[in-house]
Amino acid sequence: MLDSSALMAVLNSETGADIVADVLTRSAVSAVNLSEVVARLADKDISEEQVYDIVRELPFRVFPLDEAQAYQAGFLRASTRGLGLSLGDRCCLSLARSLGIAVLTADRAWSQLTIGVEIQLIR
């Protein structure tokens, strides 16, 4: 599972991009995190067409947020509030938990989480 910071590392050729690139074809992304990435690209004044082209080149699977995951993301707020996790972060963690897979992130605060999801820092 990739959070938006991991995807942005690849798109911006940041530290840790190589780690993400190695697993990209086997990765999952929450539709909520995809929306965050699209917003960040749009903030850079990249056209909608270019954003579609950029994102479509990335070989990952996008998962919608279902009702059970929405509840779990909401319930995660209490245990993650102190670390400043966003709705997108919690949706990513909820999906990872439901799929039973690890999450790759650049957000060091996630290493403090003890919520039953393996967290792998990319830098």
Distinct helix (H) and strand (E) counts, the chain: 6, 4
Q: Which helix (H) or strand (E) holds 123?
A: none
Please report the pLDDT score of residue 50 as a whole number: 96
What is the overall mean pLDDT for the chain? Answer: 95
Q: Does domain 4-121 have CATH number 1.10.3720.10?
A: no
* Per-domain boundaries in the chain: 4-121
| pTM (predicted TM-score) | 0.90
Q: What is the pLDDT of residues 67-114, one digit of tens each?
A: 999 999 999 999 999 999 999 999 999 999 999 999 999 999 999 999
Please report the pLDDT score of residue 43 as a whole number: 94
Q: What is the mean pLDDT of residues 37-61?
A: 94
Give CA–CA dist 70/20, Å, rounded: 26
Which residues fall within 8 angstroms of residue 44, CB to CB, at 6 or more apart? none
Q: What is the mean pLDDT of residues 43-60?
A: 94
